[in-house]
Amino acid sequence: MKIRFLIANAYGVGGTIKATYNLAGELAKRHDVEIVSVQTRRDVPAFAVPPGVRLRALVDGSPQAQRAKEESSGLVARGKLKLGTWAMTQPSRVIHRRDFRYKNFNLLTDLLLLRFLREVDDGVLIGTRAGLNLAIARFGRRSAIRVGQEHLNATKYGKGIRGAFRRFYPRLDAYSALTERDAAAFSHMLGPGVRVTCIPNGVSDGGDVRSANHNKVVIAAGRLAPQKGFDRLVPAWAQVARRHVDWELKIFGGGKLQGELEQQIDELGLRGSARLMGYTDQLPQAMAEASFYVMSSRFEGFPMVLLEAMRCGLPIVSYDCPNGPRDLITHGRDGFLVPNGDVDGLAAAMIEMIELGDARRSFGEAALQKSKQYEMPAIARRWEELLEELVAERRQQGLPGWSIRGRQVRPEHRP
């Protein structure tokens, strides 16, 4: 089967990107898979593209592409460059204004996105965020199987965009949430006209990368942005550092709050105890050097980084934020859940995990076993089963459809 994933920017760093790469890579072992990035500003993607997966960008804003455009001679080339530059300054009319990344889209992305959606008339098209799911539902061809995939949770969407969901999502063939609670919430929100299912993210095989759970290091990772809540992790760590002066907190990732977090670390006297490590493309190896993972997010969809940490045999200490941590962590067995925003509780849970000593190893082993439920072959198979059902339904209804194994059935008509 021909499967296309549509994503805002597949060339950057983030949980949605990593989850898409993981799923695409597994499906590419049996299907024709392409990741279509609406735009890029990089010459090469931050993550390695999985074998067998094609990657392309609709709007190439990479330095290399920009240099080529600027060096182009001729009136037509200069005119296109000027028109494209202007279009990038105009707000998007296609992406819903309540999409959290609305400002990353513009008139140029609209034009090329619409052209792409009208060209896709076969196979499966899977969106990866609200704005793109809505665009697929509104403008995608009915001859393609159209699936929306949710990477946030239902509580993050306000009244305005919920109305658009109810209006346009019935045009999708299916809509996939990451947790059962979110699937139930979206089913209630959308009503009986939308097929809602739950398929969580999967984690790729980490090989032999495994923590021994004895180094005096605690690790956290993510964008240095308000969502990830590192501003409420640092004060919790201040309490831990006073009791366990020989332990260290390492926070991996980059972002706009780096300066504020560095100032917070200095003001709390944590320089040398809490460290901002920057971005790394060797996060599993860094995890293997830690004893447990801490998550301080204000909200999540289904945090890939927790799965990756558990895959490395790390116990988890996490706020019980919506959604994901509660679905992955069994309190007292493979980690500790703390009421969302309880800084003192987070500090106490980290101290308890430190003071478990050798027993921390059993927590890590339980975390590793839990992560195996989310291995990519099993998750990909759930996607294949969903797509097989959608193809079968189309055949029963006399609508266009394609065989899951790639033998195309030509539709009798196209819109």
The CA-atom distances, in angstroms, between 171 and each of 97, 167, 375 are 20, 9, 31
What span, in angstroms and rounded, lies between the C-alpha atoms of 228 and 235? 14
In angstroms, how far is CA 147 from the centroid of its own chain? 16
What span, in angstroms and rounded, lies between the C-alpha atoms of 243 and 317? 17
pLDDT digits (tens, 9 = 90+) for 193-243: 899 999 999 998 767 899 999 999 999 999 999 999 999 999 999 999 999
Tokens representing residue 3 in the block = 């499967």
What span, in angstroms and rounded, lies between the C-alpha atoms of 241 and 58? 48
Type and span of the H or E element at 7: strand 2-7
pLDDT digits (tens, 9 = 90+) for 348-383: 999 999 999 999 999 999 999 999 999 999 999 999
DSSP labels, 272-312: TTEEEEE--S-HHHHHHTSSEEEE--S--SS-HHHHHHHHT
Using only C-alpha atoms, what is the Rg of the chain?
A: 23
In angstroms, how far is CA 281 from the centroid of its own chain? 16
For residue 401, pLDDT beyond 60: no
Q: Quick one: DSSP state of residue 72? A: -
What span, in angstroms and rounded, lies between the C-alpha atoms of 143 and 402? 10
Q: Kindly state the percentage of the chain with pLDDT values over 70.
A: 95
pTM of the model as a whole:
0.88
Answer for the pair 291, 357: CB distance below 8 angstroms, yes or no: no
In angstroms, how far is CA 278 from the centroid of its own chain? 19
In angstroms, how far is CA 313 from the centroid of its own chain? 21
What span, in angstroms and rounded, lies between the C-alpha atoms of 145 and 299? 31
What span, in angstroms and rounded, lies between the C-alpha atoms of 319 and 321? 5
Q: What domains are there in the chain, each with its CATH number?
A: 2-202+377-397 (3.40.50.2000), 217-373 (3.40.50.2000)
What span, in angstroms and rounded, lies between the C-alpha atoms of 404 and 319? 40
The larger pLDDT score, comparing residue 352 to residue 79, is at 352
pLDDT at 73: 65
What span, in angstroms and rounded, lies between the C-alpha atoms of 240 and 216? 12
Cross-strand pairs, 319: 338
Answer for the pair 276, 248: CB distance below 8 angstroms, yes or no: no
What span, in angstroms and rounded, lies between the C-alpha atoms of 120 and 141? 7
| Spatial CA neighbour of 310 closest among 335, 327, 285 | 335
The CA-atom distances, in angstroms, between 196 and each of 18, 180, 192, 369 are 23, 10, 9, 28
pLDDT digits (tens, 9 = 90+) for 8-62: 999 999 899 999 999 999 999 999 999 999 999 999 999 999 999 999 999 999 9
For residue 402, pLDDT beyond 80: no
Angle between helices 130-139 and 159-168 (to 10 degrees): 30
pLDDT at 404: 46
Average pLDDT score over the chain:
93
| Reported confidence tier of residue 408, pLDDT bands at 50, 70, 90 | very low
What span, in angstroms and rounded, lies between the C-alpha atoms of 309 and 314? 5
| Spatial CA neighbour of 117 closest among 141, 84, 81 | 141
Answer for the pair 151, 302: CB distance below 8 angstroms, yes or no: yes
